């Protein structure tokens, strides 16, 4: 962490001040890419802070949220035990759990005043020094959370700090005072100046430069590509990210844009993402490497460029989990709109139905809109992520329309409460990837699954209610991956029968 030592020290002192018994709410405010989450994470992991509290929760709010979803996350974080999964029961369980200890709650990336006012009631004030930290881009959100304390507003990095952060990314694990060759110092200075002290811009530009040869010609080309980009604030950051995006190979561009279909601030399973890349045909063929290895290489390449973050690794060092910064995700969405890569309908969009007939290659729906009139026969990917819509007319309309999407390769149904396998799926003969997510209540995969002769991946990892899978699944020759929850009661396939050779 560069440039935030004084900020961290000040906030930690306020957190652990034993003279302040009442519940206190503090806010960290700044534009996207300024380092709010980085600072909050450093505070959250601080040893003095860990010794001062006994209940902790880190919850990302973001633009697209539901109170029910947020309460479930808080309940899980603090190990509350609600009697039921309703908003009321979750709220009561969280309140009772927090009342018994001294808590520190981090609410990261709060966009709306309503988010705080709706959550306030679950945080008890029992005069034992409880604390809540909010990170937000908006001063009005910070003031509504605590009108009596001035928000902690982050500043941009100064020139020395900017240079240090940039060089850390270009020359990792080296002394930033001596690592830059003298013949590149002037170019480094020019590049740092272009970032205007924005940490995310410095990190992304540093990631881009780290992939270039350490020659004057290579660095000069990067400087020249940025000429005329003297824009301010968040736009400066977006322009630098766009520069890094344009430097990607054609297949890495496709891989990067796929992050646009993921929910904001979502933790992504690397293997699942790579399965999707493979299904879409994004990954190049490389001699001596499996598809999975090529996909991991692509993910690591994007991480080296600081365009995505690896947030967890396997025992062998390979990526396990990843995420994308919300500012970078904004770039994904902007690019997808321009080239019809994705059409995205977010949770808070107000449209009632989708009517486009020849639009995007992939459709992402995160609200209750009706796709009754949607007739894009060229659709390749459909991501339907709405909570609790099993019996909703919008979901019924979706099932009715599935037969129109003859070229569909990817279908992800993240609708909680699904109890029956939609038989309409059997007509999707080109489907390669099928996923059921969230709290699905699917009990059986019926024999109609056998119609999907091109299926490569069936992801039922969250299907805790699953009891039976038809043997017809194991007759699909193209099948490579079947994901089931660790608590699954489904018996394995009968190995005496023929099973797919690549499974």
Percentage of the chain with pLDDT > 70?
86
Q: Residue 413 pLDDT more than 90? A: no
- Rounded Cα–Cα distance for residues 74 and 304 (Å): 32
Give residue for tokens 């909703």.
Answer: 392
46 and 99: one domain? yes
- Rounded Cα–Cα distance for residues 100 and 81 (Å): 13
Question: Of the candidates 2, 327, 1, which has an alpha carbon nearest to the alpha carbon of residue 158?
Answer: 2
Looking at the domain assignment, is residue 499 inside a domain?
no
Which of helix, strand or coil describes residue 478?
Answer: coil
Structure tokens at 33: 């890419």
Question: Of the candidates 46, 65, 190, which has an alpha carbon nearest to the alpha carbon of residue 115?
Answer: 65
14 and 80: one domain? yes
Identify the CATH number of the domain in which residue 367 sits: 3.80.10.10
Looking at the domain assignment, is residue 366 inside a domain?
yes
149 and 13: one domain? yes
pLDDT in tens, 392-405: 555 666 777 787 78
- Domains of the chain: total: 4
126 and 30: one domain? yes
Looking at the domain assignment, is residue 493 inside a domain?
no
22 and 138: one domain? yes
185 and 298: one domain? no
Q: Which residue has the higher pLDDT, 273 or 416?
A: 273
Contact 379, 373 (CB under 8 A): no
pLDDT in tens, 41-79: 999 999 999 999 999 999 999 887 889 889 999 999 999
Kindly report the pTM of this predicted structure.
0.83
CA angle centred on 473, ends 288 and 405, rounded to 5°: 85
End-to-end CA distance of the chain: 44
375 and 270: one domain? no
Structure tokens at 398: 């979706």
Under the banding of pLDDT at 50, 70 and 90, the label for residue 370 is low
Identify the CATH number of the domain in which residue 36 sits: 3.40.50.300
Looking at the domain assignment, is residue 337 inside a domain?
no
User: What is the pLDDT, as a whole number, of residue 333?
Assistant: 85
User: What is the pLDDT, as a whole number, of residue 200?
Assistant: 92
User: What is the pLDDT, as a whole number, of residue 242?
Assistant: 86
Looking at the domain assignment, is residue 449 inside a domain?
yes
123 and 12: one domain? yes
Identify the CATH number of the domain in which residue 228 sits: 1.10.8
Q: Determine the structural domain holding residue 311 and report its residue range.
A: 264-327
Mean pLDDT of the chain: 85
Structure tokens at 73: 């996350």
Structure tokens at 437: 């997510």
Looking at the domain assignment, is residue 386 inside a domain?
yes
Q: How far is CA 331 from CA 148, 253, 258, in A?
A: 36, 12, 11
117 and 46: one domain? yes
165 and 135: one domain? no
144 and 163: one domain? no
294 and 424: one domain? no
DSSP conformational letter for 353: B
**Mean pLDDT of the region 267-291:** 91
Contact 421, 397 (CB under 8 A): no
**Mean pLDDT of the region 355-371:** 65
Looking at the domain assignment, is residue 11 inside a domain?
yes
- Rounded Cα–Cα distance for residues 345 and 480 (Å): 31
Looking at the domain assignment, is residue 323 inside a domain?
yes
User: What is the pLDDT, as a whole number, of residue 392?
Assistant: 53
pLDDT in tens, 306-348: 999 999 999 999 999 999 998 898 888 888 877 778 877 765 5
What b/e sequence results for 425-452 when a residue is b if at least 16 CB atoms lie within 10 Å of its CB, and e otherwise? bbbbeebbbbbbbbbbebeebbebbbbb
User: What is the pLDDT, as a whole number, of residue 351?
Assistant: 47
User: What is the pLDDT, as a whole number, of residue 463?
Assistant: 62
User: What is the pLDDT, as a whole number, of residue 384?
Assistant: 79
């Amino acid at each position: 962490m560069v440039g935030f030592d004084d900020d961290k020290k000040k906030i930690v002192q306020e957190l652990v001040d034993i003279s302040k018994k009442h519940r206190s709410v503090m806010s960290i405010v700044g534009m996207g890419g300024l380092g709010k989450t980085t600072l909050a994470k450093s505070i959250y992991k601080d040893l003095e802070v860990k010794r001062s509290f006994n209940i902790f929760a880190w919850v990302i709010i973001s633009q697209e949220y539901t109170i029910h979803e947020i309460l479930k996350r808080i309940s899980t974080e603090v190990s509350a035990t609600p009697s039921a999964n309703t908003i009321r029961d979750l709220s009561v369980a969280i309140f009772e759990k927090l009342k018994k200890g001294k808590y520190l709650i981090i609410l990261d990336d709060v966009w709306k005043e309503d988010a705080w006012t709706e959550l306030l009631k679950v945080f008890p004030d029992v005069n034992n020094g409880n604390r809540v930290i909010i990170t937000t881009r908006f001063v009005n959100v910070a003031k509504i959370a605590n009108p009596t304390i001035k928000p902690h507003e982050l500043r941009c990095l100064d020139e020395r700090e900017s240079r240090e952060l940039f060089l850390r990314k270009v020359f990792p694990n080296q002394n930033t005072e001596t690592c830059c060759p003298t013949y590149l110092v002037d170019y480094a200075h020019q590049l740092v100046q272009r970032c205007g002290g924005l940490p995310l811009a410095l990190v992304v530009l540093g990631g881009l430069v780290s992939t270039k040869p350490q020659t004057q010609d290579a660095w000069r080309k990067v400087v020249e590509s940025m000429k005329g980009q003297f824009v301010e604030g968040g736009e400066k950051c977006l322009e630098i990210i766009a520069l890094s995006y344009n430097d990607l190979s054609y297949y890495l561009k496709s891989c990067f844009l796929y992050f646009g279909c993921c929910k904001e601030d979502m933790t992504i399973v690397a293997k699942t993402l790579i399965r999707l890349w493979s299904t879409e045909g994004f990954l190049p063929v490389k001699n001596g490497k499996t598809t999975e290895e090529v996909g991991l290489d692509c993910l690591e390449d994007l991480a080296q460029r600081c365009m995505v973050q690896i947030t967890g690794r396997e025992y062998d060092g390979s990526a396990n989990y990843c995420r994308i910064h919300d500012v970078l995700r904004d770039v994904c969405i902007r690019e997808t709109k321009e080239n019809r890569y994705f059409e995205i309908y977010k949770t808070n969009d107000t449209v009632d139905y989708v009517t486009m007939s020849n639009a995007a290659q992939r459709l992402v729906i995160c609200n209750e809109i009706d796709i009754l009139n949607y007739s894009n026969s060229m659709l390749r990917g459909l991501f339907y992520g709405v909570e609790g819509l099993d019996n909703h007319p919008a979901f019924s309309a979706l099932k009715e329309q599935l037969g129109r999407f003859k070229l569909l390769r990817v279908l992800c149904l993240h609708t909680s409460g699904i109890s029956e396998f939609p038989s309409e799926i059997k007509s999707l003969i080109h489907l390669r990837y099928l996923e059921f997510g969230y709290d699905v209540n699917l009990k059986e995969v019926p024999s109609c699954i056998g119609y999907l002769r091109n299926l490569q991946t069936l992801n039922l990892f969250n299907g805790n209610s699953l009891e039976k899978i038809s043997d017809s699944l194991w007759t699909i020759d193209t099948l490579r991956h079947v994901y089931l929850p660790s608590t699954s009661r489904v018996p394995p396939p009968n190995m005496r029968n023929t099973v797919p050779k690549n499974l």
